[in-house]
Amino acid sequence: MNALYHLCEPALYTGRESTSRAYLHENVRALDLRGSLARTEERIPALFGYACDEGVRRNLGRPGAAEGPRALRKGLGKYPWQVGAPGHLADAGDIRLEDDNLEGAQAAYAEGVSKLLEVGYLPMGIGGGHDIAFAHYKGIRNHLGPGKHLGIVNFDAHFDLRSPGDAPHSGSPFFQVARTCQQEGLDFHYACIGVRRDANPQVLWDRAREFSVCTIERESLTPDQLSGHCRTLRKFLKPLDAVYLTIDLDGFSSAYAPGVSAASPMGYAPMEIAPLLDVVLNSGKLIGLDIAELNPAHDQDGQTVALAGSLVHRILHFPGLF
Ligand SMILES: N=CN[C@@H](CCC(=O)O)C(=O)O
Ligand SMILES: [Mn+2]
Ligand SMILES: [Mn+2]
């Protein structure tokens, strides 16, 4: 790992003390990605921060997401650690942006993801701009090699299929993945859930169609259509060997997630998408996941941190995942 890598700060984890390791902060272990890592006996989740908002800046959004990883860790300590939780939670530290070098941060992040996967961890990324997704995907792909069918499930108000020009940014990660797949002769499997008509220009809807993106629109997230969407998602997952899950917090309504780079008043409520999230967690194919675009500079009352914390708690306690 290079100079952009920083070890986790254990002091960020605080909360009530117990005699039975009843809280998350009592179950975190620091993991140093600079050395060689021992293979895990069971699958262990590993937080891995992407402290970078240069992609948001390049995409004309509101900066601040570089502080997302620290803010989420501060919020996580108090969560209960209950029956079914993994043996422990590893914290593999952060990749932090330096000198606007987004591409360097992405390369270092991808390297860290591959390293975690090689020894049996499940990377749990914390962003940072959604440019984390290109880095995370690359890290998974480098680990898997070209022979496996790898898919992406993105919960987001946006397709993030913009052309990056000569400077990748937070709105371009899935276009970059598609282009890489094309160049390397790999299939591109991408599902985007919660995408909004009023948040994506026509060219991106056309591009999504051209790339055969499995699209579930925000407007269609109604109780009567949910079981149909679950079926669609299961069908999407069926031919895959592995799935990378990425949750852009701006897919949620700003009533729940004000602390993001691009707020979504008309986004979804958490329980509107929970069953779809569970389909992914239940697939047996999850290889890596992240929560992106947490921007504490615009959070109100810590609501967005709390939402991200509850998502992490749900994932850590999902039956059979660990
Ligand atoms: N990662 C976010 N991407 C969005 C941002 C939208 C906005 O700034 O309003 C996009 O490029 O479409
Ligand atoms: Mn988004
Ligand atoms: Mn996004």
Neighbouring C-beta atoms of residue 37, cutoff 10 Å: 18
The ligand 1 atom nearest the CA atom of 130 = 1
CA 272 to ligand 1 center in whole angstroms = 22
Q: Kindly state if the Cβ of 59 falls inside 6 Å of ligand 1.
A: yes
For the whole model, what pTM was predicted?
A: 0.98
The ligand 1 atom nearest the CA atom of 292 = 1
Report pLDDT digits (tens) over 114-164.
999 999 999 999 999 999 999 999 999 999 999 999 999 999 999 999 999
Q: Kindly state if the Cβ of 158 falls inside 6 Å of ligand 1.
A: yes
Q: For residue 223, name the pLDDT band (cuts at 50, 70, 90).
A: very high
Q: Is 100 annotated in some ligand binding site?
A: no
Q: Kindly state if the Cβ of 160 falls inside 6 Å of ligand 1.
A: yes
Which three-class secondary structure state does DSSP give residue 6?
Answer: strand
Report pLDDT digits (tens) over 152-205.
999 999 999 999 998 999 999 999 999 999 999 999 999 999 999 999 999 999
Domain 5-316: top CATH class: alpha beta
Count of CA atoms in the C-beta half-sphere (13 A) of 58: 23
CA separation for the pair 211, 218 (Å, rounded): 19
Q: Is 250 annotated in some ligand binding site?
A: yes
Report pLDDT digits (tens) over 77-108.
999 999 999 999 999 999 999 889 999 999 99
Q: Is 91 annotated in some ligand binding site?
A: no
Reported residue count of the chain is 322
CA separation for the pair 241, 73 (Å, rounded): 31
ipTM above 0.90, yes or no: yes
The ligand 1 atom nearest the CA atom of 204 = 12
CA 262 to ligand 3 center in whole angstroms = 9
Exposed / middle / buried, residue 278 (Cβ in 10 Å: 0-12, 13-18, 19+)? middle
Q: For residue 2, name the pLDDT band (cuts at 50, 70, 90).
A: confident
Q: Cβ contacts of residue 31 below 8 Å, gap of 6+?
A: 8, 37, 46, 90, 91, 92, 93, 121
Domain positions in the chain are: 5-316
Q: Is 206 annotated in some ligand binding site?
A: no
